[in-house]
Amino acid sequence: MTMQLPGFPSAAVACASLLAGIAGCTPQGRAPATIGDGPAPGDYLGASVTALGDDLIAVQAQMRRVRQAGDIDGYTACVAARHARDTGNGFLRHVRTNIDEKGGIWRADAVYTISPTLPRGRMTIDAQVTAAECAENGVPTQ
> How much is the average pLDDT of 80-104?
94
Q: Name 50's Cβ contacts closer than 8 Å, sequence gap at least 6.
A: 57, 58, 59, 60
Whole-angstrom Cα distance, residue 19 to residue 62?
Answer: 18
Q: Give 85's pLDDT tier (boundaries 50, 70, 90).
A: very high
**The pLDDT of residue 16:** 37
Residue 43 CA to chain centroid, in angstroms? 16
What pLDDT digit, counting tens, does each position of 23-82 carry? 334 333 222 222 234 455 679 999 999 999 989 999 999 999 998 888 998 999 999 999
Asked if residue 94 has pLDDT above 50, the reply is: yes
3-state secondary structure string, the chain? CEEEEEHHHHHHHHHHHHCCCCHHHCCCCCCCCCCCCCCCCCCEEEEEEEEEECCEEEEEEEEECCCCHHHHHHHHHHHHHHHHHHCCCCEEEEEEEEEEEECCEEEEEEEEEEECCCCCCCCCEEHHHHHHHHHHCCCCCC
Domain boundaries, the chain: 2-136
The larger pLDDT score, comparing residue 10 to residue 98, is at 98
Whole-angstrom Cα distance, residue 90 to residue 33?
Answer: 23
CA distances from 18 to 3, 6, 40, 50 (A): 18, 17, 6, 23
